[in-house]
Structure 1
């Protein structure tokens, strides 16, 4: 198999080539907003990667998150796994099966029962499988989070939410407690698709598509951590800086320390603000009473 670095290059080429082929317009229903709007970009990215893989006969498979859950559960059932052993396998034998970070209990139950597996937000929108056998190589997947952002004439200064730092650190803690060896398989990439809105269409710009590796990000460059909203890392994907030599262990350590440092600064500032507010109220009440 090609290296992950080579695979990353191929995925980015796939997305850019799709726009060069003229397939750079996405119809956006007028009522689509938030995560519902993102679904159209996830499907576009999946199709772009599929086209690229097929033309070059690459030995990888690409799934929407809910498709992957349905596929691997189906494979396990074909191998005569029981309902209980399917959940045990996913929870105990894969890096992505811990907790409910990657898929929900509802999705798993639906797949086991043979019902339709509905889309639910998770750590992954797309899944690239680069192994040979879906069960034997179940850990050989790359989770991809697809983010879209409209480019406007007057660009907003606020950075978009990327991922919850708290949830990410909890995930790392669970993996390190369960089996630190799983860390070598853990892969999470961010695809950033920037577009301009024309009528009801999103026009994707070929030179405004980006792909970043979570574990290569320079943590100290994170512009904002929003402690008022699920401790979200806020960062434009196009502005993320990577260190190709950075290890996963260093990233996790740096992220934990950075979040802790900024949390202390935030909480101390909020405590001062609240103290000032309460003291002002009490001072006025003493004067008027």
Structure 2
């Protein structure tokens, strides 16, 4: 273990032979200081080692991750029904972060998720890809979404009783057209969406939306001032040259227990990732470690 209790304080060992107490079983522990291995506390009586059945050796990778969080949030003891375990990180919002460096059994995954996801706590996993997914590669595909279409209709139309621009743009026919478009959004009397260049013919899209809007208007309001309404439909398109990365996980071999993790899974040190990137397995996304840490630290 990394921390023990000495004079009512949470401490790391400062010299070999130093004495303190285990936060879980309250028995005596002794400091172990090494020039190569990771410094840690060990139970003085070997039969008591280790009182946390989920104990795993501390690695440099564990330390580097834990050190990104305040000391008070590292290696925190959680007790449920007289059973105690040390969470790698427990944040003030009850978010538990477990840094997993070595393989574990599927049953063990289930036990940990059941234990840590109790009493408003939420667990997320961070896995070391270098030791758990050494043959896995993240391939990045650049996807360009570079056409923004904006469609506006009259916000108000006094010539027509009970006119509603939102009612027209929220109609199921418009929803059907939006189904294969990206990031469609309606704000008052304006509909916007994006699509990949060359995916659709822009003039066809403009005609399609205009004809549907006119058909919806006729269905709702008949022929009243229809020609005037047609003149006020505005459709514009813009090049936006937006590039984003779509990851693809290439698995030559894969550890079965990872697929059994129901809590969110982030993988560090995967081939194909930059040093400052994590692969968010649960959402098939690449995120920056800085963003991950910053979001977590807002809860500390």
Q: TM-score, normalised by structure 2?
A: 0.24
Q: Which has the higher helix share?
A: 1
Greater Rg, structure 1 or structure 2? 2
